[in-house]
Copies of this chain bind each other. A is one copy, B any other.
Amino acid sequence: MSHTKALPLLDPEGQDGRGAAPCCPPLTERPMNAEEAETAARMFKALGDPVRLRLFSAVASHEGGEACVCDISDVGVSQPTVSHHLKKLKEAGLLSSERRGTWVYYRVEPSVLAAMGRLLTAPPAV
């Protein structure tokens, strides 16, 4: 139940190279169970802060879907605050990071974004 630490919506290890699978059905398909809701709520919560959302969209929309702190620090908060929020996004599994030389580069996990998008997919008109 409580073993998922990173990338909670996905199981990147267990998918045999096919790309990761989403944890949860579309919200409109059936009621979520407690475990699914825990997992998905963690990611929505991470995006539930305006500064984090701006940083996330700054990374997501940056060339190549990747940015270093130096590229995205114009959101009106201090760099330590930027780093704090980037860490939170990383812990929620929404960003991955890699150090190259002086800078840490952040990258959006497109499969996570797609899984969240699927959660919110509206059903076909009835």
Name A's B-contacting residues (CB within 8 A): 27-34, 37-38, 40-42, 44-54, 56-58, 60-61, 64-65, 72, 75-76, 108, 110, 113-114, 116-117, 120-122, 126
Contact = CB atoms under 8 A, between A and B. Distances in A.
Contact of A29 (B27, B47, B56, B61): B61
A52 B40 CA distance: 11
Contacts of A114: 120, 122
Q: Which 8 A/B pairs are nearest by Cβ-Cβ distance?
A: A45-B48, A117-B120, A44-B47, A37-B50, A44-B48, A31-B58, A32-B57, A27-B57
A48 B41 contact: yes
Assembly stoichiometry (copies): 2
B113 A117 contact: no
Contacts of A52: 41
B41 A49 contact: yes
A50 B31 contact: no
19 contacts: A27-B57, A27-B61, A27-B113, A28-B65, A31-B54, A31-B61, A32-B53, A32-B57, A32-B58, A33-B54, A38-B50, A41-B48, A41-B49, A44-B48, A45-B45, A46-B48, A64-B126, A110-B122, A117-B117
